[in-house]
Amino acid sequence: MGNFTKWIAGGLGWAFFGPVGGLIGFLVGSFLEPGITIQKSPTGATTAGDFALSLLVLVSAVMKADGKVLKSELDYVKRYFSQSFGEGTASEAIMMLRDLLKQNIDIKEVCSQMKTRLDYPSKLQMLHFLFGISMADGQAHPREIDLIQIISGYFGVTSKDYESIKSMFVPNTDTAYKILEIEPTATNEELKKAYRKMAVKYHPDKVAYLGEDFKKSANEKFQKVNEAYEKIKKERGIV
């Protein structure tokens, strides 16, 4: 049993209802092994299962953004999930993803549901996953990037936070500064202040409630912030 089965069986709250539930509801029952039942979350709080299923829905939308889905893309997604969560989880994710890719997804509706249920750090983590999967083959199609930006807008993520995460995957001349959400003209004191702010914003503990698997993956953003800070310090000769 991979983590996807564990996440789903461990508890579903809001993802079981609304437009997200409409997309995955018919999949869940046939997906679980005999004897395994879904525990409904009584608190209404986001569970790892809610997050994982919502992520798959958005991944399928991003993969179809350029008008085609190649086997190579599925292989890249499977490899990404495998590296992040293990072989079993990757296989389960691809099984569900294949079915989701056949469905029409109203991205505005599903994002509207997620916006009201996901806290801000979880939205940032969702965008991080989407960029990671989009760039799994070493490049991102412009339509995929455009859709991720639209998703970010529907989530209510600020433009600076969006550009920060995008810069972790799509390099430009000011990548390190964009990750820290400052301009190259920032003073050293402003640099240090920005680093402290971003380190808090992207700390893995912000999504600790999703469990160790997602927390471990969230550490990638935290590392990118540290790398950006160290790069600028080196360029400026800051000890």
* Domains in the chain, CATH or no CATH each: 1-157 (1.10.3680), 159-239 (1.10.287)
- Say if CB 126 and CB 54 are below 8 A apart: yes
Please choose, from the candidates 70, 114, 103, 78, the residue with its C-alpha nearest in 3D space to the C-alpha of residue 2: 78
Count of alpha carbons within 13 Å of 35, Cβ hemisphere only? Answer: 1
Q: What is the pLDDT of residue 17?
A: 80
What's the average model confidence in pLDDT over 69-92? 80
Ranked by mean pLDDT, which of 11-15, 23-27, 98-102 comes out on top?
98-102
Whole-number Å distance between alpha carbons of 52 and 20: 11
Q: What is the pTM of this model?
A: 0.85
Q: What are phi and psi of 12, to 5 degrees?
A: -125, 135
Six-digit token pair at 96? 């569900």
Whole-number Å distance between alpha carbons of 47 and 199: 24
Q: What is the pLDDT of residue 29?
A: 56
Report the interhelical angle of 18-31 vs 107-117 (nearest 10°).
90
Average pLDDT across the chain, whole number: 85
What's the average model confidence in pLDDT over 196-202? 95
Q: What is the pLDDT of residue 11?
A: 62
- Say if CB 54 and CB 127 are below 8 A apart: no
The pLDDT confidence band at residue 41, using thresholds 50, 70 and 90, is: low
Give one DSSP letter per residue of 66-107, joined into a string.
TS---HHHHHHHHHHHHHHH-HHHHHHHHHHHHHHTTS---H
List pLDDT tens digits, range 144-185. Answer: 999 999 999 999 999 999 999 999 998 888 999 999 999 999
Calculate the alpha carbon distances from 148 to 72, 123, 164, 203, 235 in Å.
20, 12, 13, 22, 31
Residue 31: is its pLDDT beyond 70? no
Q: Name the helix (H) or strand (E) containing 159.
A: helix 159-167
Report the interhelical angle of 107-117 vs 120-134 (nearest 10°).
140
Residue 12: is its pLDDT beyond 60? yes
